[in-house]
Amino acid sequence: MASLLYINEKLSDAIIILATGPGDVRSRLYSILPKILILSPFSLPAELKKELNWIQDKLTEKNKIQYGHDLGRTLRRMRNNTGSKIAERIVDLQFRVAELREEERKK
């Protein structure tokens, strides 16, 4: 299993881009794709796998297209409201991973 530290760092980097990057939420989501798609759901505890799967599926239209095969077009068609929901769930996932990491560190 990948370390929770690594996962937390990738999610934290993604949140910084979502919060400060240029453009609308869709262009910011496009910027964080490598950070999100590199994370394996199998690297997370069972209770968080489903959340990461949902995020990745929404970003890639349920994996119908692969990264690099015009995902920009997919994200341009996405409604800003959907993009905002994805961003919100990324933030929530990061907080939950950070909590698990802290619990793991205390043990």
pLDDT confidence of residue 1: 46
Q: Are the C-beta atoms of residues 90 and 15 closer than 8 Å to each other?
A: yes
Domain of residue 15: give its range: 4-106
Task: State how far the Cα of 84 lies from the Cα of 79, in Å rounded to an integer.
Answer: 9
**pTM for this structure?**
0.82
Query: What pLDDT sits at residue 68?
Result: 52
Predicted confidence (pLDDT) at residue 27 exceeds the cutoff of 80: yes
Nearest 5°: phi and psi at 94? -60, -45
Number of domains in the chain: 1
